[in-house]
Amino acid sequence: MTIQNTIESYIKKGFLKIYQIEIPSVEFQATRKEFKGDLTVVIFPLLRYIKGNPTEIGEKLGNYLLENVAEVINFNVINGFLNLVIEDGYFLKLFNLMNQNPTFGFESPKESDKAMMVEYSSPNTNKPLHLGHVRNNLLGFAVAEIIKASGKKVYKTQIINDRGIHICKSMLAWKLFGNGETPASTGLKGDKLVGNYYVKFDQEYKKQIAQFVEKGISEDEAKKTAPILLEAQEMLRKWENEDEETVSLWKKMNQWVYKGFEVTYKNLGVDFDALYYESDTYLLGKDVVAQGIEKGVFYKKEDGSVWCDLTDEGLDEKIVLRSDGTAVYITQDIGTAIQRVNDLKDVGGMVYTVGNEQDYHFQVLFLILKKLGFDWAKNLFHLSYGMVDLPSGKMKSREGTVVDADDLMVEMTETAKNISEELGKLDGYSEEEKNELHKIIGLGALKYFILKVDPKKRILFDPESSVDFQGNTGPFIQYTYARIQSIIRKATFDYSLEINELELHEKEREIIKLMSLFPETIQQAADNYSPAIIANYTYDLVKEFNSFYQNVSILGEENHQKKIIRVQISKKVANIIKQAFSLLGIQVPERM
């Protein structure tokens, strides 16, 4: 039972006693720093039940609590806010409780609960991953970890877009201009090699269009009839007819790409539990369309195309099957969603990490699945995020104006190296260990930079100015962690004793209060699908610790009990930093 619950029940009792009125709930908030107190009761909502002066009501309730709740040792009322001062013993108890629990804040999944499936990354296999994918991957991974920590089973998944005209484009360009190049022969990462040919296709295509236009053909016409495009379309037909040569080229080049992606994912620190390939799923959903017609959710037009009428919901009509009977994008998505629940029976909801340009698509998709009557359809969430812009504008793969994911990670590691060498705290580290450390810091900076902002907002990323290492940044937090580790290494005495009675320093109280919020912060982050909430909490905790560190002496403290609790607090703060950062996919170093 938390103090909040206790106080809530006593306020209800007190209110009943003083005013003879029952109240359903009490609103709490943490007391603002500028006022005295630890917990605040907001009086205003109570005015609904009893007319009166909020200050007077606050005084009466405060007195009641003072008499009846042992932990409440003082109170004050300001502007309708009842601030309660809680005794130190309570905070000590609170601390000891969380200190005994090495996974404090993390809920283990309940067997009875349904699992969530989190989809992210979902790349095309015709080009390497870029900065936009990086945001997608970091967000998806972090949200998956957060949901897991909040007490739900999670499956991480991606759907690999391995077929379609865009894939054929790079295949064709390789066939025409590749001279049999392979990743081995060029020393290039497979995804890079294939990506180069995707760019090559586009260059050739543009050249042909220009030539046509010169001959007096309209641009629209030229775009449709450029020979290289027609050839790519022919290739797609061959692929769909399972032409042996085409399929084997497709397999070969996709393997190159997968090998390359594997490296990028590993460096990025993300992973998946289940993979789906569009080449396996692109025919799914057609049978569902038939069932949907029977149920009256869909209807057929004269030309044979099938539609869903969403005008009652304020949306448009949406096509779900072409007149020639083939599937469209949304048909696949309907089919794939159902397939996943069939594959993994305990899935009770899904999170789709996809950019906000597809907001409308997912609105429609979720609505259709609901109309089809799937009970899990109410637990679908589009984790929509804003674009990552460069100072030069939008990134375009076809034009090669992208920030490559691999290059970016290398650059960040380089920057970390330069900064860390100035500091020189790494005596005794081997080159290998140093490189590993620079990677941890560089990636920490990048990941934190991206995850600390609300997913919905667009990010401007300037590769020139790079990412900060000071202030509200990953390395700053990592640094604090490393410094705590340094203290712990030096604390060679036995500090395992549990302290139950001690007068706490103001900074100690503050930091215990903040640590105790970790569990609800995780829940809040999970409810909002927002890693930013974890990032900002961690930063607050670190700031509070630095202030504590500045104000009290830890190892130099003469009072043995105080010394013990300060080491314990430091260690627990480090532990929470590590846990919180693990949710963001960021590692913490022992030294830096």
Q: Give CA–CA dist 530/385, Å, rounded.
A: 11
Restricting to residues 516-535, which ones interact with RNA according to CB under 7 A?
Answer: 524, 527-528, 530, 532-533
Quote the least distance from Cβ 181 to RNA, whole Å.
26
Closest CA to 309 of 358, 361, 367: 367
Stretch that binds RNA, among 87-95, 264-272, 428-436, 449-457 (CB under 7 A): 449-457
Contact 201, 172 (CB under 8 A): yes
Q: Give CA–CA dist 403/396, Å, rounded.
A: 10
Cα 329 to Cα 278, 322, 482, distances in angstroms: 11, 11, 49
Phi, psi of 393 (to 5 degrees): 120, -155
Rg (CA), the chain: 30
Among 85, 94, 293, 328, binds RNA (CB under 7 A): 328
- Answer yes or no whether residue 479 interacts with RNA by CB under 7 A: yes
Identify the bridge partners of residue 42 per DSSP, sorted by sequence position. Answer: 81
Quote the least distance from Cβ 345 to RNA, whole Å.
27
- Answer yes or no whether residue 187 interacts with RNA by CB under 7 A: no
Kindly state the DSSP code that residue 363 receives in the 8-state scheme.
Answer: H
How many residues would you count in the chain?
A: 592
- Answer yes or no whether residue 536 interacts with RNA by CB under 7 A: yes
Quote the least distance from Cβ 162 to RNA, whole Å.
10
Closest CA to 397 of 174, 198, 206, 233: 198
Among 18, 94, 310, 487, binds RNA (CB under 7 A): 487
Among 47, 70, 263, 275, binds RNA (CB under 7 A): 47
Quote the least distance from Cβ 221 to RNA, whole Å.
16
- The mark string for 143-172 relative to RNA (x by CB under 7 A, - otherwise) is ------------------x--xx-------
Structure tokens belonging to residue 99: 């200190």
Among 2, 35, 50, 185, binds RNA (CB under 7 A): 35
Put the strands of the sheet holding 380-385 in their side by side order.
274-277, 154-160, 115-119, 347-355, 380-385
Among 13, 224, 295, 425, binds RNA (CB under 7 A): 425
Quote the least distance from Cβ 559 to RNA, whole Å.
13
Residue with tokens 């667009």: 458
Among 9, 63, 185, 553, binds RNA (CB under 7 A): 553
- Answer yes or no whether residue 79 interacts with RNA by CB under 7 A: yes
Residue number, 13 or 490, with CB nearest to RNA: 490
Q: Give CA–CA dist 535/472, Å, rounded.
A: 9
Kindly state the DSSP code that residue 101 receives in the 8-state scheme.
Answer: -
Among 13, 16, 22, 30, binds RNA (CB under 7 A): 30
Quote the least distance from Cβ 310 to RNA, whole Å.
11
- Answer yes or no whether residue 357 interacts with RNA by CB under 7 A: yes
Residue number, 264 or 279, with CB nearest to RNA: 279
3-state secondary structure of 352: strand
